[in-house]
Structure 1
């Protein structure tokens, strides 16, 4: 059973999402009302995925993501919020979020997203993708201002990265492209090196910024 921690400043929202996830067979192992409380709960509960709101008093979603990185806590974070502001989306992804959904999603979409992240994938709400791409092209490289220019990706590496950008886990990429999972991991390692990216999400952002997925 997939285990999640819910971080949202509204108790009713936490309870509602938790009840729906339980019906879908996903176990809620912890709740927190802000980022400061969330860190300790995440350390204690060791969830498979964290559901994180962005706008919270004092310690918000971006602070929480940055604190997880600072402490080297490697847990997939799915942002679940009502805010679809371009800057907020980019801030969350740059801070390490592996998924971003709006709270108007259906239960099936939410549970699917949770499972995708638990399996190692990434997911961004399709409605946000075009706007995010425009924002990336008009701003600095998400890999950092000192990142080297992206090296040319092979056709196969582009295929792998396109599927990763669509939320596929390694196993699903392997099945879609009729490859061994180890081969997919090798391609991803090469992609990260060529793009100067620290992880899968950052690689997708860098590739979108460079126009490599068009």
Structure 2
């Protein structure tokens, strides 16, 4: 297959395994990145046809790296290859410009087919992702997660309504940040949002990476500074 590819994944075993697999299938891998910043730099250096992009990476998460690649280097397509296939991750990646979306249980042939699809101007989506997209579209606009500029925050993030979310935070990440500022534990946040504990941890890791905070205390301060939450005892206007 005539395609030049960059692989971006922060897990060395996954990254090296994908590189080896693609090499065996005749794909020319021109670079391997450990995070989103490296991925963008390798695209600038090598001008690949496609980036296989993980979503959860340090320094620059996959969605933001995808947005930068598609904005700055429109000749390079992006196929997401991730463990996380929740609706929020899926729609955020597609809005950022990804033309393909696969989970890491995809086989080598499926990855190659997705690469070929995006190079021919089609979408490189796994069958499961295609079904979910069709289900969401059939269910109407309310079933499709909206971008941060138009999606309502909900009662728990009332302080952030009407504000543009900082550093590319998704509405859900901003909501989790507000709940952290309110003093809720991960388990309490999971119950409040009706999601799993693992999903809450994913959102927290993602918002920590985007905002540069190192712990919950810094996250709380960040929420106050950005006006997403009100400090205890603050005047109510």
Question: Could you say which TM-score interval applies, normalised by the shorter chain?
Answer: 0.5 to 0.7
* TM-score normalised by L of structure 1: 0.62
The residue aligned with 2:77 is: 76
Shift of 1:126: 1.6
**CA contact 2:15–2:32 (8 Å) conserved in 1:** yes
Cα distance in structure 2, aligned partners of 1:115 and 1:36: 25
Q: Which residue of 2 aligns with 1:106?
A: 107
Which one scores higher on RCO, CA 8 angstroms, separation ≥ 6?
1
1:176-205, Cα deviation, whole Å (9 max, x unpaired): xxxxxxxxxxxxxxxxxxxxxxxxxxxxxx
Describe the SS at the equivalent of 2:81: strand
C-alpha contact (below 8 Å) 2:55/2:81 kept by paired residues: yes
1:52 aligns with 2:49: no
The answer for the alignment partner of 2:18 in structure 1 is 17
Partner Cα distance (1:22, 1:28) in 2: 7
The root-mean-square deviation of aligned C-alpha atoms, in Å, is 2.1
Which residue does 2:33 correspond to in 1?
32
Task: State how far apart, in whole Å, the 1-side matches of 2:26 and 2:78 are.
Answer: 19
Give the count of matched residue pairs: 144
CA distance 1:140–1:92, shift in 2 (3 Å): closer
Q: Which residue of 1 aligns with 2:44?
A: 43
TM-score, L = length of structure 2: 0.56
1:57 is paired with a residue whose SS is: coil
Partner of 2:62: 61
- Shift of residue 113 of structure 1? 1.2
**Structure 2 segments unaligned to the other structure (5+ residues):** 151-237
| C-alpha spacing 1:128/1:78, structure 2 compared with 1 (3 Å) | same
Q: Residues 46 and 70 of structure 1: is their aligned pair in 2 closer, same or farther, counting only changes over 3 Å?
A: closer
**Where does structure 1 lack aligned partners over 5 or more consecutive residues?**
146-214
| 2:93 alignment partner in structure 1 | 92
Aligned to 1:118: 119
